Structure 1
C-alpha cells in the first residue's frame, strides 16, 4: 500500500522529527516563547496555502465523499486551527509581532500552491497527506511523553493534534491516498511518491526553521 511504503521510506526522517530539539522542548514544555511565537506565526501563514490546496483537492475530486472530506478539512484548517493559532498569538503578545515570513514557510506554501495548480488530483492528495499524518503522529507522541497536560504551556497544541477526531481525518486521508495510488499509472504513482517525500521533508525543515528562527540572508540589504 502507498501509505505503508511512504512510512517505511520516511522512517529515519520521522525519527529526526521526533528527536528534533524543537519538538522535544515542545513536548516537555521547555520551549522558549520566542521560538514558539516564530513557529505559530509561520504555521498560521502556511495554513492559508494548505487550506487552499485542500479546497482545490475538493474541487478536483470525482468522488463526492472525498470532495466533502477535503472541503471540510479546508474549513477546519482555516477555522479551528487558526483559532488555536490566534489564541496563542494573543497570549504571546509582543513575541509574535514583526515576524517576517521565513524562507522555509514561503517555500513550503509555494510548493503546495504550485502542486495544487499544476499536478493531477492524486499527486495533490499525496502532497497534502504529510501535514495530516505527521502532525497527528507528533501530537500523539508528545501526548504520550507529557502525560497530564494540566498546566502545560503548549497543552492546547498537543491536544489539537492528538485528538481522536483529528486521527479519524488522518485515517480518511490515508485511505484516499491508498485508493488513488492503487489505480494510478506508474508515472502518476512515482509522482505521488515524490510529492509525499517532498512535503515530508518540508515538515522537518519547518520545525528546524522555527528552532533557528530562520531569517532571510538578504534581509540586511532589503529591510523595510
Structure 2
C-alpha cells in the first residue's frame, strides 16, 4: 500500500462527508441557490490565486528541473483551465466571472489558504504537496461520484463542471505519485506532519462546501447586516 493509499484510507470518513454534502449533491441534481454559487465562486477564485502562489513557493523548494517544470505546468493549468468550471457556474446564475472577483475571503477559505501557506513556508516540499493534494483529489472523486449517481448528459446545467473534474484522474495520479516519492524519502516525523497537513486540508475542503452553502461571513459582518 502506497503512502497516498494510506492517506485515502485514513480519510475515508471525510471523503464520504464531502460526497454527501448538500452543496455537492446539489451539483449532481442541478439545483443550487444562486447566492450559494456566487459565494463559492468569489471564495474559490481567491483560493485558486493562493494555490498558484503555493505552487510558486514549491518551485523555490525544488532542486530538480523535473519538479520545477511540474509546478510551472500546474500554475498554467490553474490559470488557464480551472476557469472553465467557474464559468459553468457563472452561466447558471447569469453573472459575469469578472463581477465575482476581488472579494474578501470568508473565514473558512481564509483559514484554508493560511493552512496551505504555513506548510509551504515552513514545511518540506512533501508537506506542501500533502496540503495541496486534497483539493484535486476530492474534486476528482466528486466528479466520479456524481457521474455514477446522476449520469448527467450534456443538457445537465452543471455537466461541464462535473465532466471537468470527473476527467481529472491523470492530474490527481501525478500529484499522488510525486507525494509517494517524497514520503518514501521522509522520516517518520515528517510523514506524520504530511498526514496531518493532508487531513486538515480534507477537513477544510468539507468546510469550504459548507461555507459556500451557508454564505458564511465574518461574525461582525453578520451583526452589521442584521442591524
TM-score by length of 2: 0.89
Q: Give the Å deviation of 1:205.
A: 0.4
Q: Give the Å deviation of 1:30.
A: 1.5
Pair 97,122 (structure 1): closer, same or farther in 2 beyond 3 Å: closer
Counterpart Cα distance in 2 of 1:6 and 1:198: 12
Q: Which residue of 2 aligns with 1:9?
A: 10
1:76-116 CA-partner distances (Å, limit 9, x unpaired):
11221135424643653459659652111111112112222
Q: Which runs of 5 or more structure 1 residues have no equivalent in the other structure?
A: none
Equivalent pairs, count: 221
Counterpart Cα distance in 2 of 1:41 and 1:182: 38
2:108 aligned with 1:104, yes or no?
yes
Q: Which runs of 5 or more structure 2 residues have no equivalent in the other structure?
A: none
Q: Which residue of 2 aligns with 1:168?
A: 170
Q: Give the Å deviation of 1:38.
A: 1.3
Match 1:152 to one of 148, 152, 156 = 156
Q: Give the Å deviation of 1:26.
A: 1.0
Pair 77,134 (structure 1): closer, same or farther in 2 beyond 3 Å: same
Give yes or no for contact 1:108–1:202 (8 Å, CA) kept in 2: yes
Q: Give the Å deviation of 1:220.
A: 4.8
Q: Which residue of 1 aligns with 2:205?
A: 203
Compute the RMSD of aligned alpha carbons. 2.1
Pair 31,87 (structure 1): closer, same or farther in 2 beyond 3 Å: closer
SS of residue paired to 2:105:
coil
Alignment of 1:57-76 (within 5 A): 57-76=58-77
Pair 33,149 (structure 1): closer, same or farther in 2 beyond 3 Å: farther
Counterpart Cα distance in 1 of 2:106 and 2:25: 22
Counterpart Cα distance in 2 of 1:222 and 1:63: 51
Match 1:182 to one of 176, 181, 184 = 184
Counterpart Cα distance in 2 of 1:49 and 1:97: 16
SS of residue paired to 1:214:
coil
Give yes or no for contact 2:37–2:89 (8 Å, CA) kept in 1: no
Q: Which residue of 1 aligns with 2:139?
A: 135
Counterpart Cα distance in 2 of 1:60 and 1:193: 20
Counterpart Cα distance in 2 of 1:12 and 1:220: 31
